A and B are shown apart, each in its own frame.
Chain A
Amino acid sequence: MNASFRPAADMFSELNRLQDVLDQVFRPAERSSIRGLSGASFPVINVGATPDAIEVMALAPGLDPGALQLTVDRGLLIIAGERKSEVPEPGDATSVYAQERFSGNFRRVVSLPDDADPGKVDANYRDGILRVTVAKRESSKPRRIEVS
């Protein structure tokens, strides 16, 4: 099951989690966008903008930052990698009761806006959050125009 970062409160939390499992099985075929970002994926992503840069935050706990593949190609930011399962194989001495954390290969693609500068990308990984900062092109930054 994918690691989801989903609101859940009170008695509905268990139902929400069950719904998430069902979504995995009966994933709807229709998508709103050709690169539609489905809600239940790993890692979960937030995208924001400041006047100077595009900020992408991926909630990707438990990864080796050295093994993360981060590429910017023709306006697409691609975050890919693998998270290995830490659950041992069930055997005589081991029982597994829950296996909800995502494991396996992942790949997420974010379309960058036209004013993003693929030459100026900065990334860091801390406490399980990957933060990618893509600078905006100088020409696209807001400028104050003096009126003479």
Chain B
Amino acid sequence: MNTQLQTSESQGNTQPAPNREDTQRREQPFVVPPVDVFENESGITLLADLPGVSRDRLGVRVDGENLVIEATAQTPQPQDMQLIYGEAQYPSYRRQFTLSRELDASRIEASLKDGVLKLSIPKLEEAKPRRVEVRVG
């Protein structure tokens, strides 16, 4: 089976021109969170690392056939802290996926625990694999 969730960033020129609001948002630097994606008979599960993100700072939306994950991390650092060494630089996360038609975007379940987002994207009932009985006769 083909990859049903593909990152839209890789599609380059085939993407429609982003509107103005999109362009403005994209000028802000952001981190592309690493994900695990796997599929079984009932649907697709997506896990994304979003450290520092609480529930109220996470946005998961379905826009047409695109699934967009946007989040902002809240770093617990004191105001008077001076950064000595920093690997983590931007507190914004963003990643986008293209959903295929047999996935049921209206029944996506999302949970967030310890900075890990888990999305369960079920398949439409008619798209689930069925066993076809073969009658001998």
Contacts and interface: CB of A to CB of B under 8 A. Distances in A.
A78 to B, nearest CB: 16
Given A97-B4, A101-B35, A7 B29 contact: yes
Contacts of B113: 62
A129 to B, nearest CB: 5
Contact of B36 (A7, A47, A100, A126): A100
A27 to B, nearest CB: 16
A37 B87 contact: yes
A101 B36 CA distance: 6
Given A11-B12, A46-B86, A127 B38 contact: no
A133 to B, nearest CB: 9
Interface in B30-81: 30-32, 34-41, 47-54, 73-78, 80-81
Contacts of A11: 9, 12
B83 interface: yes
Kindly state the interface size class of chain A when it binds its partner: 35 or more
28 contacts: A1-B34, A5-B87, A8-B31, A37-B85, A44-B88, A45-B85, A45-B87, A46-B87, A50-B81, A51-B80, A57-B76, A61-B50, A86-B36, A87-B36, A87-B38, A95-B38, A95-B39, A96-B37, A96-B38, A97-B5, A97-B38, A99-B36, A100-B35, A101-B47, A127-B51, A128-B51, A128-B115, A128-B116
Closest 7 CB pairs of A and B: A128-B115, A61-B115, A100-B34, A128-B51, A59-B51, A62-B116, A48-B81
Interface of A: 1-11, 13-14, 16-17, 37, 39, 43-51, 55, 57, 59-63, 85-88, 90, 93-102, 125-129, 131
